[in-house]
Amino acid sequence: MLITIIEKETLSNQSTIYGLKKAGYNIELFDNMNMAMRESCGDMYLLSTAFSPIEIQNFINKFINKTILLLVNNTSNASLNIPLSLGAKDYLMKPVNVDILIHKMKHYEIFDRLKKKHTLYKNYHDYILKDVNVAQYINMIDFPMIIVSNNIDFIDQLILAYANIKKIYLVYISLTAPNWINKINMSSSYDKLYLSGLENLSIKNQNTLFKLLKDRIFIISSFTSVSREYKTVEITTKEMSVREDDILSISDYALMTIKLLQFKYPDVQIAEKLGYSRKKVASLRSKFNLIREERIRA
């Protein structure tokens, strides 16, 4: 990582430069603001407020996307307020304590990485959610609730779109993860949870889950029907929830096919397509609590 220091009193920076180099940083040093504006290429900047206000303002405006820490002789409003309002991140008093400086640098280095990662994920989310029609579902989504669907991928996108529109932050927990109980216990009681994969839990583990979720704020998605005291909606889409690398068991495939086709064909035709008897389809309906009734469709 390259640290650019812009300071008139270059001799007073020797201990700072030594400490930064010892910590593994590369340094470039300028005592002329115009030269620094033209030639500097640092990842982070240490800018002295000994330069004129207009020079400092022009420098910050040019490198607004970089992390700029001010080096100040005093904490007067004149030396701090304007640079900080323009985009400088923080300040240190001279003479600089190298340990504090490195601590601040690491803090802003991590912050910068998180900001870039957040921008990447936001841009990606905006891209994959651009075609998700959420208008007809927004008013039905609430906390706490359970969403049953034949297309969990669609529900994932729907919940992300909902969170984006409502400007809320979700904590995602996969119920297929071996440590899902710990993740719930470690989350704050104020966190809004989105949990998927309920169909993978045994009845015993489902009971454990709902005990943990008592008085919590959550949405659960499930591929199979579930009977609980929470608000439950079923959303059926035209496409199945199967990725290219998914391999379903025969019973899972049959279940998905019944859920997908039950609004289009009678059980006799579904049985023919699956190579099952009508009695077999009826037993699957009973096993997974699939009741024939009008449901919300995407």
* pTM of the entire predicted model: 0.58
* Whether residue 276 is found in the same domain as residue 143: yes
Are residues 222 and 104 part of one domain? no
The domain boundary, picked from 88, 123, 158, lies at: 123
CATH of the domain at 233: 3.40.50
The structural domain count of the chain equals: 2
| Residue 138, pLDDT score | 78
Q: Indicate whether 130 belongs to any domain.
A: no
pLDDT at 129: 66
Kindly state whether residue 129 falls inside one of the protein's structural domains. no
Write the CB contacts of 221 (distance below 8 Å, at least 6 apart in sequence).
146, 147, 148, 149, 152, 155, 156, 159, 194, 195, 196, 197, 198
CATH number of the domain enclosing 83: 3.40.50.2300
CA distance 9 to 12: 6
Residue segments in the chain with a per-residue pLDDT below the cut of 50: 241-245, 293-298
Q: Identify whether 188 is part of a domain.
A: yes
pLDDT score, position 294: 40
pLDDT of res. 262: 66
Instruction: Tell me which residue range forms the domain holding 14.
Output: 2-123
Residues 253 and 198 in one domain: yes
Query: What is the chain's Cα-based Rg?
Result: 29
